[in-house]
Chains A and B, each alone.
Chain A
């Protein structure tokens, strides 16, 4: 009952933020014009602004945010590690590398699906390397060190690829790939990413009960009929599909997957399966809020989303590390 209420509240929050997001923009449309434009009976310009610019932006904020929140919750549950998150583990940076290679070589222009697929490929390599480097029974510290190594390497290659591009703008776009943005994304980006994000999220949601069982350790989970190899496969495919596709269209947005599950965990009695839907909703709300904030705080400056999420998330991460240490001592 309490869980239902929490889900209801979060759905409401995402809904409100979605509407606010649709209402915010440099064109300064009044709510009535904006609404009429959205449903396609206003003037042509308002219609274009609402349907082709703001709607895809708000939709992507939900898709990307839900992906980050959900994958963070799954990774924390699967690795039994509260410091896990697609950003910390270098999955986002590797997906960025894949996307960068697809875009700046011109492949994505010839074959648009190459963009999400390359990003998913990058994410897949990162997750495989992570499991190889740190293994299933790694301590939180080992996982994070492995994540830092993967992240640094992927970022270096991204930077190299952008520097080698003959396009003078490319080198500056490292900022987008490292800090993320939803500015002037279009419906094309929604169609390119949504199928992979939805597929990934469905896979991740299916892990709820397995993650609950895993909270008592892999052996006990297996004794309850959970198949560890299957859980790993689904977790890897789900995370890479959703995070890869999201990163391909938004760049890497840090800390959402880390902070959101952690904040919501006490509200669901720490149960991993219940954490999944609320983290997806919480992530969607967080990215929506950040994307509204960048437009309100610094209109016309194209502030990157990752700037805000890091300003909130990085101190939180430090606090979390201190908490971990306190628990170990």
Chain B
């Protein structure tokens, strides 16, 4: 089973320490919501896990140090859905999803049958198969988000990191996108998603990590993390807490400064 272990992770960017000693361990099947205020270091943490920026501390995947892993090997284990959804060129949906196979193809080779199957499966899973011919630049935000998730799915890695995949989406799309991740985790993958919608995170994630000023403030199930005290301390808000179908509902109602 997949296991990810992060110990005492520090990241400095431009002389400022953005992530300050984060430690956690996670395994396949978990759907982890990474929450915290703007600037708390969520994106930086994800980018450090992916090896996009230098960091200190230890990151190991299945007991192998991620930093010693070749770029391609890491790509086979970890995929990424970036917050930015801008596309430079009007590539077709199918082409974009196929890009997910990049680490699987040897140099100077074309997509093989196994790759095509993976692309098909990813498109079905993210429900974008019907729009395969359409240029990504002409899709709505929600459609585009699903296509980029399908792209990451096609990479067929055991760990998936997603940076605010639900931002700027309407409620229906937010739920559809989150359900996709939820389904992935149910199938044994490890999903780590940053999110600002606390109720959405509480409803779908199996575990929440609350980040504040680069430090992990809380780690555990939603009810343990989303306490009035934590929200007050980290976000500076008071919230309405409710219950819906056995799930926690959190609605921030006043900022306390």
- Where the two chains meet, the residues of A that have a C-beta atom closer than 8 Å to any C-beta of B are 80, 206, 209, 212-213, 215-217, 219-220, 222-227, 265, 269-272
Contact residues in B for A271 (Cβ distance below 8 Å)? 89, 91, 95
B234 at the interface (CB under 8 A from A): no
Give 9 pairs: A residue, B residue, CB < 8 Å, sorted on A.
A212-B102, A217-B84, A220-B151, A223-B75, A224-B75, A224-B99, A225-B75, A270-B89, A271-B91
Partner of B105, one of A206, A209, A223, A227: A209
17 further interface pairs, Cβ-Cβ under 8 Å (given A216-B87, A217-B84)? A206-B107, A209-B105, A213-B102, A215-B87, A216-B151, A217-B82, A219-B84, A220-B80, A220-B82, A220-B151, A222-B52, A223-B80, A225-B70, A225-B73, A225-B74, A225-B103, A265-B89
Contact residues in A for B47 (Cβ distance below 8 Å)? 219
> Is the CB–CB distance between B102 and A225 below 8 Å?
yes
B202 at the interface (CB under 8 A from A): no
Partner of B99, one of A206, A216, A219, A269: A216
B41 at the interface (CB under 8 A from A): no
Q: Closest CB of chain A to B195's CB: distance in Å?
A: 19
B86 at the interface (CB under 8 A from A): yes
B249 at the interface (CB under 8 A from A): no
Q: Closest CB of chain B to A171's CB: distance in Å?
A: 43
Contact residues in A for B82 (Cβ distance below 8 Å)? 216-217, 219-220, 223
Bound CA span A212–B95, Å: 9
Contact residues in B for A212 (Cβ distance below 8 Å)? 99, 102
- With contacts A224-B102, A224-B155 taken as known, whether A269 is within 8 angstroms of B95 at the C-beta atoms is yes
Contact residues in B for A222 (Cβ distance below 8 Å)? 50-52, 71
> Is the CB–CB distance between A215 and B91 below 8 Å?
yes
From 144 to 195 in chain B, residues with beta carbon under 8 angstroms from any chain A beta carbon are: 148, 151, 155
> Is the CB–CB distance between B86 and A217 below 8 Å?
yes
Bound CA span A222–B90, Å: 21
Bound CA span A279–B60, Å: 43
Q: Closest CB of chain B to A77's CB: distance in Å?
A: 8
Bound CA span A225–B104, Å: 10
Q: Could you mark each residue 66-89 of chain B with 1 if its beta carbon is under 8 Å from any beta carbon of chain A, else 0?
A: 000011111110111010101111
Closest to A270 in B: B89
Contact residues in B for A265 (Cβ distance below 8 Å)? 89
Bound CA span A215–B90, Å: 10
Q: Closest CB of chain B to A20's CB: distance in Å?
A: 33
> Is the CB–CB distance between B102 and A226 below 8 Å?
yes
- Where the two chains meet, the residues of B that have a C-beta atom closer than 8 Å to any C-beta of A are 47, 50-52, 70-76, 78-80, 82, 84, 86-92, 95-96, 99-100, 102-103, 105, 107, 135, 148, 151, 155
Partner of B52, one of A219, A225, A269: A219
Partner of B148, one of A213, A216, A227, A269: A216
> Is the CB–CB distance between A80 and B88 below 8 Å?
yes
Interface-centre pick from B50, B86, B89 (highest chain A CB count, 10 A): B89
Q: Closest CB of chain A to B157's CB: distance in Å?
A: 9
Bound CA span A95–B90, Å: 33
> Is the CB–CB distance between A215 and B71 below 8 Å?
no
Contact residues in A for B102 (Cβ distance below 8 Å)? 209, 212-213, 224-226
Closest 7 CB pairs of A and B: A225-B75, A223-B80, A225-B72, A270-B89, A225-B103, A224-B102, A80-B88
Bound CA span A212–B100, Å: 10
Bound CA span A269–B95, Å: 9
- With contacts A209-B102, A217-B82 taken as known, whether A269 is within 8 angstroms of B91 at the C-beta atoms is yes
Contact residues in A for B74 (Cβ distance below 8 Å)? 225
Bound CA span A74–B105, Å: 21
Bound CA span A40–B74, Å: 58
Closest to B88 in A: A80
> Is the CB–CB distance between A269 and B84 below 8 Å?
no
Contact residues in A for B107 (Cβ distance below 8 Å)? 206, 209
Partner of A213, one of B52, B90, B99: B99
Closest to B83 in A: A219
Interface-centre pick from A209, A212, A225 (highest chain B CB count, 10 A): A225
Interface-centre pick from A222, A224, A272 (highest chain B CB count, 10 A): A224
> Is the CB–CB distance between A227 and B99 below 8 Å?
no
Bound CA span A269–B84, Å: 22
Bound CA span A80–B78, Å: 25
Partner of B103, one of A215, A216, A224, A272: A224
Contact residues in A for B95 (Cβ distance below 8 Å)? 269, 271
Contact residues in B for A216 (Cβ distance below 8 Å)? 82, 87, 96, 99, 148, 151
Bound CA span A237–B155, Å: 30
